[in-house]
Amino acid sequence: MNILNYADAFFGDSAHWQDYDGIPVRLGEHVQYTLMALGIAAAIGLPVGLLTGHTGRGGNVLALIATSGRALPSFGLMVLMFILLGLGMAPVMIPLVVLAVPPILVTTNEAMRSLDPAPVDAARGMGMGEAQVLFRVELPTALPLILSGLRSAAIQIVSTATIAAYVSFGGLGRYIVDGLYQRDYEKVVGGATLVAGLAVATLLVFWAVARLAVSRGVRRPG
């Protein structure tokens, strides 16, 4: 049997489309974990990145924190959190957020720092307040890069959220973890395919958001 046969068998079995362990439920859980982690990470990374980028202060400290954040192994962190905090959503969310904050924060900061200073100077010179400069000039111009930071964070969360299954949570990781345990390779391959599919769907969502939210003036060809 090859991988395609496994996948075919997995998705062809009607039992896999029903009940609490069915594909719709697991997919829904996975999306839910992803959105939650991405939401928390963005709530931390975006304001901090925008503010440090706007003021031009604290960039070095940021880079240091971000590098250490990236160096932490997500799985190890989750196990540690599980031991410290016990069963719950926090041990799952903390590693995902730690994973996602650095790309959001660093990219946002860089996006703001690499802006052409002339329009920002012109904006102030025309009498915009600091908030207006940030939201009407800097943010819209930096948006393509900021979105790319959010996108890579989202992709990393989608693939890493599978570890939730190790601490008895749901999500698409269930199929992979259970499949390995039960030596049910149909399940393993099916789960992995779903994760990959969700990653592609995430890319599509970000592409659509960029089309809607980014001005044509800063969306250069390519």
Examine residue 123 and tell whether it contacts other proteins (CB under 8 A): yes
Among 2, 15, 127, 204, contact with other proteins (rule: CB under 8 A): 127
Among 68, 119, 182, 196, contact with other proteins (rule: CB under 8 A): 119
Q: How far is the CB of 129 from other proteins (least distance, A)?
A: 6
Q: CA 56 to CA 34: how far, in whole Å?
A: 31
Residue 1's contacts (CB-CB under 8 Å, 6 or more residues apart) are 185
Interactions with other proteins, residue window 162-221 (CB under 8 A): 215-218, 220
Examine residue 125 and tell whether it contacts other proteins (CB under 8 A): yes
Examine residue 137 and tell whether it contacts other proteins (CB under 8 A): yes
- Which one, of 151, 198, 164, 166, lies nearest residue 45 by Cα? 151
Among 132, 199, 209, 210, contact with other proteins (rule: CB under 8 A): 132
Examine residue 222 and tell whether it contacts other proteins (CB under 8 A): no
Q: CA 108 to CA 32: how far, in whole Å?
A: 24
User: Which x/- pattern, by CB under 8 A, does the window 22-61 give for other proteins?
Assistant: ----------------------------------------
Q: How far is the CB of 134 from other proteins (least distance, A)?
A: 13
Q: CA 44 to CA 139: how far, in whole Å?
A: 16
Dump the DSSP string for 42-80: HHHHHHHHHHHHHHT-SHHHHHHHHHHHHHS-HHHHHHH
- Contact indicator for 63, 103 with CB cutoff of 8 Å: no
Among 122, 180, 201, 208, contact with other proteins (rule: CB under 8 A): 122
